[in-house]
Every structure is written in structure tokens, then in C-alpha cells.
Amino acid sequence: MEQLEFASKKDSTTRIIASSGVFQIELLEHVGENDYNVLIEISKHLAQQYGQKAILTKATIHKYFNKKSSLPFIARYRGDIIGYIVGVPLEELSTEPWARMDENFGKYDTLYTYAFVIMGQYKGNGYAKMLKRVYLNWAKKRGSIRYLTGHVKLGADSLNSQDIKIVSRTENWQNSGTTFEYYRRKLHNESGTPAAFPAPQEI
């Protein structure tokens, strides 16, 4: 029994959500230790744009990917992980001043997009767009979630939508030397039907 429990911690538990030929998207129900290194390596693609804090560690993987309240997905190409996206409840970021200042902090109705990345050599094939779309659709299925928030570079085209509001701006975000905008995306319009989403920006 102990050996089975140990093995389950080594291997990831996933569920295939969408697939198209050699590409597929999986919901991460649990990240096992065998996938820690590849996720960490992929996260290094974010460092230049988002700063060193964007690089995952075993501790942040366990904290943000393996919580029941999180919403993590991975993208695979020919069986290899090439990217991921993970949303976490805003309240999980209580140590961040900008999170505590959000008007919805404490309402448990907001999912923060903690990280979103597709490896550079796989960009331009629509994989990032498909991954983001799956993430958005699954976020809408959570009845308690009304908003998605996140940080993007100042002037990002992906924020051109009436359902998105710029909440604040931060210069030198995470010591990246770049100004980032903190945005809030409304998941449903006033009639309660799903809002239309612009094509997401690949990063």
C-alpha cells in the first residue's frame, strides 16, 4: 500500500480535455514529481519577460498546481509537455499588495492567471490560443467564479475587449524592467450568457 501511495506522488494524474492530431490539452488533477523538472524548464521561458519570480520551483508547483481550488492545464505535442496555464484563487496571493487591493479580494469569485506559456518553437500554430480557450471555458463552468485577472505587458492586444478592465499598472514588474497592467476580465455579460473573448496573446 505504501509503495502505491509513493508511486502516485511520482506520477501526474491528468485528464485529456481536447486533442487535435499530435497536440492535446490535459487538465492536471495532480502534478507528480516526475513532471516537476519539465515544468520548471518551461517556466524559464517566462523569466525574460516576467522576471525571475516567474520560474517555478517544486514548492510553487505544489502550492499552485496541486490545490483543488486551482485550475491547471498542460499542453502536449507528441506526448511531450510544451506549455501550461494555471489559475489560482486571488486569495491564495494574499502576500501580494496588489492582490489585497483588488476590490474582489475575499469574495472568492476571482481566478488569477498565475502563469501561461507555450515554448517558443511551438508558437504560431494556434496552440496557445487553444490552451487559453480551454482554460477560459473551464473557468466559466465554475459557478462561483465571475472574473479572471492577470498581468500582461503594457499595451497588450489581448486586452482589447469591452469585458476587460485595466485595474492598475506597475512599473518594473517583478524587477523585469517592464511596465505591466493588472486586468480584470468579466466572465459573463449582464444577461448571464458567456462573454465573447478576443484571441488570446501568445507569450
Ranges 5-9, 131-135, 158-162, most confident: 131-135
**HSE of 104, CA atoms in CB hemisphere, 13 A:** 19
Work out the pLDDT band at 191, boundaries 50, 70, 90: very low
Work out the pLDDT band at 106, boundaries 50, 70, 90: very high
Alpha helices in 22-168 (DSSP H): 36-43, 47-50, 58-60, 97-100, 127-141
Global pTM reads 0.84
Q: What percent of the chain has pLDDT over 70?
A: 87
Domains of the chain, each with CATH number or no CATH: 2-186 (3.40.630.30)
Q: Out of 12-21, 23-32, 44-53, 192-201, pick the least confident.
A: 192-201
Q: What is the pLDDT of residues 119-151, one digit of tens each?
A: 989 988 899 999 999 999 999 999 899 999 999
**Strands lying side by side in the sheet with 164-170:** 13-20, 23-30, 71-77, 80-89, 110-118, 147-153, 180-186, 164-170
User: CA-CA distance, 184 to 167, in Å (whole number)?
Assistant: 7
Q: What percent of the chain has pLDDT over 90?
A: 67
Give the pLDDT score at 157: 66
Give the pLDDT score at 1: 37
User: CA-CA distance, 96 to 53, in Å (whole number)?
Assistant: 13
Q: Is 148 helix (H, G, I), strand (E, B) or coil?
A: strand
Ranges 51-55, 60-64, 87-91, 120-124, most confident: 87-91
